[in-house]
């Protein structure tokens, strides 16, 4: 089952980063690098489907090795970082995606007419002394296309971690133009095992099982300051308190497939309540905007003065930004507020200032939906710590206001205000 494709605005697709937390841990950081703005259209929404069964949560392993993965930011809509595959490592930029669970990169053996393949780095099995053939065919369906190829096995290098033997996809056919324009080569999935195509163990699970990562925890910090050269950081194995203003609010994962949680309410200023009886929400680094059911997103934009464009997107009058109300999400009993500066995407195209709403209509049909997707507009404002749990504890997500450069702790006092009633 696949819902209608979600078209990501031509300037929005963020990818968060991971944080570290254990005291005295050796952190491996993968920095994010910001790509200079230029006009591109990208749609990276996968086809949502109902999981067949619940996955087994990862178990702890020996060692104490949090890992940092630097991420690059493309116009606050593409954040990606570098990994290596093979011996010696062949480098690729990948989106770290919590909405899928497979790792794939373009292959040197790709089809001649697969244009995206020829415009990106390609994996060459003959150049790796540690390559092992698998040959199982795979295909992954996304909202605007698919990726087909074969599975292979080789060594993964990520941050300071080396030598993990992983099964990954060599993409032989990328029929969607979305990958032609992408500034990344492939995708590294950070979802639960049940989402993995062909039952392949997700990379984080492999790192834990092989004793290269202490805990199945990772966190994303996205730097949205256009004046800063770095795009943020991905931290494997924990979280870095320097990235956020404490405390973390932990919310249990309700369905361990996507990172799905229960959202209690959404408020737009003092007058409009959405998700009034509670609803499901997905925390997804592979989605640039915040999406919700069409009727609720329409009501939200009526309250903030949004004008509809195409594919559920809305435009905002830039002059109105200082007057717009906050939009707040009640998660784990705490209100997480977004100001208009947080949820309006401001850019300049050909000298013209353009303001796009960070909210988009998307109807995900049953049985998987309906649900909201808290994408990078939300995750750029709030650091998210994704904790897969272990045999003694269930999966959960921790949220806290991201710390901006030069901000002090006092600045965060307005981040989690309580609404009456």
**Could you give the CA distance from residue 343 to residue 324 in angstroms, rounded to a whole number?**
10
**Could you give the CA distance from residue 333 to residue 2 in angstroms, rounded to a whole number?**
32
Quote the mean pLDDT of the chain: 80
Same fold, 28-36+67-210 and 244-401: yes
Q: Where are the domains of the chain?
A: 28-36+67-210, 244-401
Lowest-pLDDT range of 48-57, 69-78, 261-270, 409-418: 409-418
The active-site residue, picked from 76, 97, 154, 240, is: 97
Query: Does residue 40 or residue 66 have the better pLDDT?
Result: 66
Please report which confidence band the pLDDT of residue 227 belongs to, taking 50, 70 and 90 as the band edges: low
Q: Is 284 a catalytic residue?
A: yes
Q: Of the CATH numbers 3.40.50.1000, 2.40.70.10, 2.40.110.10, 3.40.50.10330, which one belongs to the domain with range 244-401?
A: 2.40.70.10
Largest CA distance in the chain: 64
Convert the pLDDT of each residue in 81-93 to its tens digit: 899 999 999 999 9
- Rounded average pLDDT over 338-362: 91
Lowest-pLDDT range of 169-173, 346-350, 374-378, 415-419: 415-419
- Rounded average pLDDT over 227-252: 89
- Rounded average pLDDT over 18-36: 50
Convert the pLDDT of each residue in 44-81 to its tens digit: 334 444 443 333 333 333 333 444 555 544 344 567 88
CATH architecture, domain 28-36+67-210: Beta Barrel (2.40)
Please report which confidence band the pLDDT of residue 339 belongs to, taking 50, 70 and 90 as the band edges: very high
- Residue 72, pLDDT score: 45
Lowest-pLDDT range of 275-279, 300-304, 337-341, 362-366: 362-366
- Rounded average pLDDT over 376-392: 92
The active-site residue, picked from 76, 185, 214, 284, is: 284
Convert the pLDDT of each residue in 146-201 to its tens digit: 899 999 999 999 988 999 999 999 999 887 777 787 788 999 999 999 999 999 99
Q: Is 97 a catalytic residue?
A: yes
């Amino acid at each position: 089952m696949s819902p209608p494709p979600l078209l990501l605005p031509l300037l929005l697709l963020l990818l968060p980063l991971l944080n570290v937390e254990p005291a005295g841990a050796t952190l491996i950081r993968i920095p994010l690098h910001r790509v200079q703005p230029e006009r591109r259209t990208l749609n990276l929404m996968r086809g949502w489907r109902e999981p067949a069964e619940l996955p087994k949560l990862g178990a702890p392993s020996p060692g104490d090795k949090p890992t940092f993965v630097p991420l690059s930011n493309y116009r606050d809509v593409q954040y990606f970082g570098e990994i290596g595959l093979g011996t010696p490592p062949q480098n690729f930029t990948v989106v770290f995606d919590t909405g899928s669970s497979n790792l794939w990169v373009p292959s040197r053996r790709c089809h001649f007419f697969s244009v995206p393949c020829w415009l990106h780095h390609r994996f060459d099995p003959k150049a790796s002394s540690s390559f092992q053939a698998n040959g199982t065919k795979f295909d992954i369906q996304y909202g605007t296309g698919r990726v087909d190829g074969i599975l292979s096995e080789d060594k993964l290098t990520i941050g300071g971690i080396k030598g993990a033997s992983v099964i990954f996809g060599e993409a032989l056919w990328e029929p969607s133009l979305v990958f032609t324009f992408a500034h990344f080569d492939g995708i590294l999935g950070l979802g639960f095992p049940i989402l993995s195509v062909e039952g392949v163990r997700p990379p984080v699970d492999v790192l834990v099982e092989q004793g290269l990562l202490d805990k199945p925890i990772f966190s994303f910090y996205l730097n949205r300051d256009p004046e800063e050269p770095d795009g943020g950081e991905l931290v494997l194995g924990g979280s870095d308190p320097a990235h956020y203003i404490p405390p973390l609010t932990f919310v249990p994962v309700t369905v361990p497939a996507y990172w799905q949680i229960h959202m209690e309410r959404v408020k737009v200023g003092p007058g409009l309540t959405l998700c009034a009886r509670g609803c499901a929400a997905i925390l997804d680094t592979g989605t640039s905007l915040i999406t919700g059911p069409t009727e609720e997103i329409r009501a939200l934009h009526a309250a903030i003065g949004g004008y509809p464009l195409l594919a559920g997107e809305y435009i905002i009058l830039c002059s109105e930004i200082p007057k717009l109300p906050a939009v707040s999400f009640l998660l784990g009993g705490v209100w997480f507020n977004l100001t208009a500066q947080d949820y309006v995407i401001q850019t300049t195209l050909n000298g013209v200032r353009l303001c796009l709403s960070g909210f988009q209509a998307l109807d995900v049909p049953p049985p998987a939906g309906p649900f909201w997707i808290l994408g990078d507009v939300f995750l750029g404002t709030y650091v998210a710590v994704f904790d897969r749990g272990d045999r003694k504890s269930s999966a959960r997500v921790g949220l806290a206001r991201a710390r901006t450069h030069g901000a002090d702790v006092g600045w965060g006092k307005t981040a989690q205000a309580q609404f009456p009633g």
